[in-house]
Amino acid sequence: MTAVFRRNTNITRLLHKHSITDPIGARTLLQSQTQSKAYLRFPQVFRKARDYDLSPSVFSSAFCSSKSTAETTSVSKLGFLGWYLGMLQHRPILTKSVTSALIYTAADLSSQTLAKSSFSESYDAVRTLRMAGYGMLVLGPSLHFWFNFMSRVFPKRDIFSTLKKMAMGQTLYGPTMTVVFFSLNACLQGENGTEIGARLKRDLFPTLLSGVMYWPLCDFITFRFIPVQLQPLVSNGFSYLWTIYMTYMAGLEKAGTTS
């Protein structure tokens, strides 16, 4: 204790002496002592950083992990809906295609059930497979690109933009997909070009007329209130009843080729 007191007294006298005879030297001595103290503190900081591994990558990974954990927790709370929304974000075309295939499968089975005359009558598995393939390979991808195209051309969801989307759907997309549906289904059943033309002549106009009575309200709800990434799902939901009718029309016998 006495030795420490004497050392501090000597330092005070030395500083006082330098401040009188050499002010610059005293200032230099104070700066050197301050720097030495700071130098003694820096290794401790580096040592702590090394002990705890406080690097930017650790902070970023911790932030990302906490964010991903929060997202995973929120998605898990949504259950199937959260999983489906995640699939729409990461694999949109595949998800919409599988959704269309499942809806067309269910609609065709429902259509065959309604058309059965007895419970012992078997289902036409080939017909159901055709409908599922159409939903998977044709309708699902086309809905994805069509709704994305509509959202780019008419990005707003006001009444005027919604009416324009509805008009384009009824005049362009709907008739085109109806022709593709009837033609492809007839081709897979072995019909030739003349028979396909006769089928279109017989079935196309009544189908389009029924579509004008059914789809405008569905399109209005879809374009007006539904986000673009969910529009194919909602449209597929509306198309369940419509597909029952379409599969019934597609399952009709060949049209006569004689006029």
Q: How much is the average pLDDT of 228-239?
A: 86
pLDDT at 208: 92
Residue appearing with tokens 């009188």: 20
pLDDT at position 11 is: 54
Closest to 150 measured CA to CA, from 179, 135, 172: 172
- Report whether 123 contacts 109 (CB < 8 A): yes
With beta carbons less than 8 A apart as the criterion, state whether 204 and 64 touch. Answer: no
User: In 3D, which of 235, 138, 147 has the Cα closest to residue 178?
Assistant: 138
User: Percent of the chain scored above 70 by pLDDT?
Assistant: 68
- pLDDT confidence tier of residue 174, bands split at 50, 70 and 90: very high
Average pLDDT (91-98) is 94
**N- to C-terminal Cα separation, the chain:** 124
DSSP state of 189: T
> What is d(CA 214, CA 203) in angstroms, rounded to the nearest whole number?
17
**Distance between CA atoms of residues 140 and 166, nearest Å:** 19
pLDDT tops 80 at residue 85? yes
Ranking 2-6, 36-40, 167-171 by mean pLDDT, the lowest is: 36-40
